[in-house]
Chain A
Amino acid sequence: MVSEDKTQGQKSSVSGLQTNADIFAAFFRVGMLGFGGGPSAIPLFHREAVKKYKWMTEDEFGDTLALANTMPGPIATKMAGYIGYRVNGLMGCLVALVSSVVPTVLLMVLLLGMLQQFKDVEWVNGMSAAVVPVVGVMLAVMTWDFFKKSGESLGWQRAVGLTVVFAVLMEVLNIHPAFLIVGILVIVLMPRKRKGGAK
């Protein structure tokens, strides 16, 4: 309750409690209703933050999304943390994070933990073996998705070229992706003279 008068002067501490409850409810719903990871939950964020609670306008939401995309890491928690922070300071940020993350992690620990207890039982082991090809298919779909988006944004020639280069570097020469990503960051962000054709 300390941080809120610093960030949003108009909130009294009673309505601050209400605000935190709203934040919790909003991001709890986003977390529990969004399947397929953070990026697919973006429309749900929009529904809560813009439509339902009117914490931000359409434009501000668009800005927030763009802002979140400038940084690496999971998108859902950046959105939740940022919106929570804007609405109710540090406390809001924490409430948003906890409500969007903790319930699903608990579910995960509960369900998977149960399965793990019996992992030496043959049929339980068979269960987890059968899930592997299915996850493979889901990964294949995601692979294609990333590849298609690359083709659309870079042009197919450059996308295929880069894919081949990355494949050789990582899978043949065994270079850790971290080095390549840092390399890309350095090359892209390095200040340089304007040459015009950077598009």
Chain B
Amino acid sequence: MIYWSIFLAFFIPGILGYGGGPASIPLVEKEVVDRYGWMSTQEFGEVLAFGNALPGPIATKMAGYIGYMEGGVLGSIVGLFASVAPSLFLMLLLMATLMKYKDSPQVKNITKLIRPLIAVLLGAMTLQFFMTSTESFGGIQTVVLIVVSYWMLEIRKIHPAFIIVLALAYGGATSLI
């Protein structure tokens, strides 16, 4: 059943993603691209691009949108619920206990140890995105796009939303020529 799949696809990243929403991006990709095949890497890239260009938490934007694409309004609600409710519910339920442990070195170790794991997943995704881009644009144009967007994003500190809009315009224009 689609709603159950949507629930699982966002429940798993929600319950495993230590380090906030961004940490769950590669986990969501594993579910929706690799496991359920709901979208291609390029389509997922589109979702991420808009997620980055629009304000607000990233994990819920992905869950709400992908849930909607797969299961309509109810799918969207299921996706949102699955990504938000379990950890929030646990937090409210275990508040007293967690308050005691929030400063414990063990709890801090969890985040510390999971961080490199997320880095590996993000790194693998990065490569996958660059490879997908090479398939559609070829190596040289991909490198140029990478260098230019890095320069704008990190050196000129231009707002990501603006860079995404530029990329969209560039892609639309070049395919018309």
Contact = CB atoms under 8 A, between A and B. Distances in A.
A33 B17 CA distance: 23
Nearest to B22: A37
Given A74-B14, A130-B168, A177-B27, A139 B122 contact: yes
Contacts of B120: 163, 166-167, 170-171
B65 interface: yes
A198 B112 CA distance: 13
Nearest to B170: A130
B65 to A, nearest CB: 5
B149 A133 contact: yes
Contact of A130 (B22, B57, B130, B174): B174
B92 A81 contact: yes
Contact size range, A: 35 or more
B86 interface: yes
Contacts of A176: 30
A101 B18 CA distance: 19
Contact of A133 (B76, B101, B142): B142
Interface in B54-113: 54-61, 64-65, 68-69, 76, 80, 83-84, 86-88, 90-92, 95, 98-99, 101-103, 105-107, 109-113
A17 interface: no
A49 to B, nearest CB: 16
Contact of A129 (B14, B26, B87, B137): B137
Interface of A: 31-39, 41, 63, 66-78, 81-82, 85, 93, 97, 100-105, 107-109, 111-113, 115-116, 122-143, 146-147, 149-150, 153-154, 159, 162-163, 166-167, 170-171, 176-178, 180-182, 184-185, 188-189, 198-199
Nearest to A76: B57
30 contacts: A34-B57, A37-B57, A38-B57, A38-B58, A39-B19, A63-B99, A70-B101, A70-B107, A73-B14, A77-B88, A97-B88, A101-B56, A104-B56, A105-B64, A108-B54, A112-B47, A123-B172, A126-B172, A127-B168, A127-B171, A127-B172, A130-B174, A132-B45, A135-B49, A136-B146, A137-B153, A139-B48, A139-B129, A146-B116, A167-B123
Contacts, number: 341
A81 B88 contact: yes
Given A109-B76, A135-B52, A177 B121 contact: yes
A109 B168 contact: no
A132 B110 CA distance: 32
B54 to A, nearest CB: 5
A100 B57 contact: yes
Nearest to B46: A128
